[in-house]
Structure 1
């Protein structure tokens, strides 16, 4: 036993690196996404990739996020009447100790929520998570939803056991 092993306590144990990966179907991925409130929006800003943490709510198959007043609307939303700008949204719940959990990515077109009644209803569901004024609500119309779950790899049963 070397010094490093002797000094390592149980809570410092290295997690088992063997994982199984299960692809999630669309409905399970959206259900899991709806079980957490924070994720990351991915977009292009000044021709470079940008990622920002935001809170979200899943409505049907769409993801709705709040944009703070400093958000670059030009990078996130197309001009009215155009098809929209492609965005990605990612959220996960992966245990830092066991490395088990899931990750979901939604890719779709972004559009501002402009209907006042809809915006008020959604804003009530999306309380700000930062101490910053919120300017707009952005709906990402999901075109592609992918996800995976990381699980422990099943161990073969020993003949001696």
Structure 2
């Protein structure tokens, strides 16, 4: 098991993809008016691509289309002090091709927000990194 300088387990790309597939909420990091912005989103994986539904004309749809973005998902157990975090970086694109929209609409991705969300953004995860905090942490740090 490979550890980073903080003692966290470094995850392989496949482990990262498996963990991302187990999550339903993540955060997309994009640029909005030349400033970093973070927005929580529900998502689904399509292979290794991250698929997000949003409203056409939303701030996210406008800013993330044809841009390099970061995406992060995690899960933590505060009582056990265990968890994982995975970050993906890559280009985001708005889906405009009708056949691809139809295919993506069949994925198990249901929006939580009440507004119309018929616009898809796909993030190609070129870089995926992750860390895991196991239950074997140093108890002296409590």
- TM-score normalised over the length of structure 1: 0.74
Whether the aligned pair in 2 keeps the contact of 1:20 and 1:151 (CA below 8 Å) is no
Whether the aligned pair in 2 keeps the contact of 1:90 and 1:105 (CA below 8 Å) is yes
Whole-Å separation in 1 of the counterparts to 2:44 and 2:14: 15
Please tell me whether residue 44 in structure 1 is matched to residue 31 in structure 2: yes
Write the deviation string for residues 60-112 of structure 1: whole angstroms up to 9, x where unpaired.
1111111134622331113xxxxxx1001100011122221111001000011
Whole-Å separation in 1 of the counterparts to 2:76 and 2:8: 13
Whether the aligned pair in 2 keeps the contact of 1:94 and 1:100 (CA below 8 Å) is yes
- TM-score normalised over the length of structure 2: 0.83
Whether the aligned pair in 1 keeps the contact of 2:95 and 2:101 (CA below 8 Å) is yes
Whole-Å separation in 2 of the counterparts to 1:118 and 1:69: 16
Please tell me whether residue 113 in structure 1 is matched to residue 95 in structure 2: yes
Q: Which runs of 5+ in 1 are unaligned?
A: 1-18, 79-84, 156-161
- Helix, strand or coil at the partner of 1:120: helix
Whether the aligned pair in 2 keeps the contact of 1:20 and 1:153 (CA below 8 Å) is no
Please tell me whether residue 21 in structure 1 is matched to residue 13 in structure 2: no
- Helix, strand or coil at the partner of 1:34: helix
Whole-Å separation in 2 of the counterparts to 1:77 and 1:29: 24
Please tell me whether residue 145 in structure 1 is matched to residue 128 in structure 2: yes
- Helix, strand or coil at the partner of 1:105: strand
Quote the residue 1:76 is aligned against: 64
